[in-house]
C-alpha cells in the first residue's frame, strides 16, 4: 500500500525570471552601486565608481542599513526605478 505523507515544505513553485539583456555599453546609463554595509565594501565601490564614470555611466550610490538583513523594500524600489544596471558589492 502506498504511504501518504504530508508535505513539510511551503509548497510554493519556483518562478523563473528572465535576465535582462546585457547592455552593449554603459555610456549614458544609470548604474546603481549598492553598499551592503560590510567593512571596506566602500573601498571597492569607490574604485568602481571611478572606473564606471570614466566609461560614461551615471553612477548612483545606495546603502543597506546592515549587511545581515535583506535590503528594505523601499530601497529596492528606489534602485529599480532609478537605475538600469545595479552592482551589489559583497566585502569581507
Partner 1 sequence: MTRVGAPRLPDGLVVVVKRECETCRMIVPVLEQLRERCDLTVHVQDDPEFPSGLEPIHDSDLAVSWHHDIETVPTLIRVVDGVETARTVGWVRDEWESLSGVGALGPDLPAFRPGCGSMSVDPDLEHQLAVRFGNSTLVARRVDVAASEDEFEAMFDRGWTDGLPVVPPTEKRVLRMLTGTTRRPDDVVAVVPPDLVDVTVEKIAINAVMAGCKPEYLPWVIAAVEAVCNDVFNIHGVLATTMPVGPVIVANGPGTRAIGMNGGMNAFGQGNRANLTIGRAVQLVVRNVGGGRPGEVDRATHGNPGKISFCFAEDEIGSPWTTLATSRGIAPDTNAITVFPGEGPRCVVDQLARDPESLCNTFAACLRTLHNPKSVLAFDAILVVGPEHARVFAEAGWDRDRVLTELHARLQIHGSELVRGANGIAEGVPGHLKDTTLPKFRPNGILLVHAGGGAGLFSAIIGGWANGNMGSEPVTREVRP
Q: Which residues bind partner 1 (CB under 8 A)?
A: 1-12, 65-66, 68-70, 92
Q: Least CB distance from residue 65 to partner 1, whole Å?
A: 8
Q: Which is nearer to partner 1, 11 or 18 (CB)?
A: 11
Q: Which is nearer to partner 1, 9 or 25 (CB)?
A: 9
Q: How far is the CB of 89 from partner 1 (least distance, A)?
A: 16
Nearer to partner 1 among residue 47 and residue 69 (C-beta): 69
- Minimum CB–partner distance for residue 83 and partner 1 (Å): 24
Q: Residue 53: which H helix or E strand, with range?
A: helix 41-54
* Cα–Cα distance for residue pair 41/35, rounded to 1 Å: 6
Phi and psi at 77, nearest 5°, equal -65, -45
Find all residues with CB under 8 Å of 49, minimum gap 6, and list them.
33, 59, 61
Amino acid at each position: 500500500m502506498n504511504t501518504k505523507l504530508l508535505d513539510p515544505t511551503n509548497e510554493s513553485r519556483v518562478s523563473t525570471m528572465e535576465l535582462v539583456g546585457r547592455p552593449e555599453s554603459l555610456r549614458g546609463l544609470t548604474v546603481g552601486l549598492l553598499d551592503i554595509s560590510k567593512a571596506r565594501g566602500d573601498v571597492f565601490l569607490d574604485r568602481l565608481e571611478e572606473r564606471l564614470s570614466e566609461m560614461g555611466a551615471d553612477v548612483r550610490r545606495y546603502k543597506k542599513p546592515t549587511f545581515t538583513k535583506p535590503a528594505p523594500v523601499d530601497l529596492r524600489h528606489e534602485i529599480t526605478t532609478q537605475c538600469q544596471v545595479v552592482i551589489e558589492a559583497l566585502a569581507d
